[in-house]
Each structure stands twice: as C-alpha cells, then as structure tokens.
Amino acid sequence: MSVIGVITVYKCDDCGKIKVVSNETDEAVFSAEWFTALTKEFCPDCKGKVSNQAAILAEEKRRDAFKALFVTTSSAQKEANHAVAH
C-alpha cells in the first residue's frame, strides 16, 4: 500500500467553516489566513473577533509553553547523550 496524498480538513471553532488542505500551496494559504494551534482553529473572519481573542491568547501561551518544554527536554537529552559518550 502506498500513500498517494494526504487531505486535512480543518473546521473553525467559532462559525464551523470548513477548509480542506490537500497540498503545499493550500497549506501555505491556510497558514497565512487561519489561526491554528494545539486545540483551536479560527477562520479569517472569526480570528479577528474580540470574543475569540482570549482563546487565541491562551492558545499562544500553551504553544509557547510546549515549545519551551521541547527545547528544555531536547537540551537535557543532548547533555545526557554527551555525558554518556564521554
């Protein structure tokens, strides 16, 4: 069996608008227009709504914390690997 393509379907968490992404061009347009994070997606019309700004800020904090954890874990693993090698 071979994977010929991957189709990702996103749904706005506010209005329910659907966006289908099936190639790199679609992904680039989607990333530029939509807000997407770990648990929320908002379409271009909804990401600017005041009512969604708290959710967007919370998602950005969650994403930053996740990135910081990954960097810390990655650095600790590199140090451990270095210590074992020497």
What residues does each domain of the chain span? 8-85
Show the DSSP H helices in the chain as ranges.
24-33, 44-47, 50-85
pLDDT at 85 over 70: no
pLDDT at 22: 94
pLDDT tens-digit profile of 2-15? 888 889 999 999 99
pLDDT at 25: 93
The rounded distance, in Å, linking the Cα atoms of 6 and 21 is 8
pLDDT tens-digit profile of 12-64? 999 999 999 999 999 999 999 999 988 899 999 999 999 999 999 999 998 88
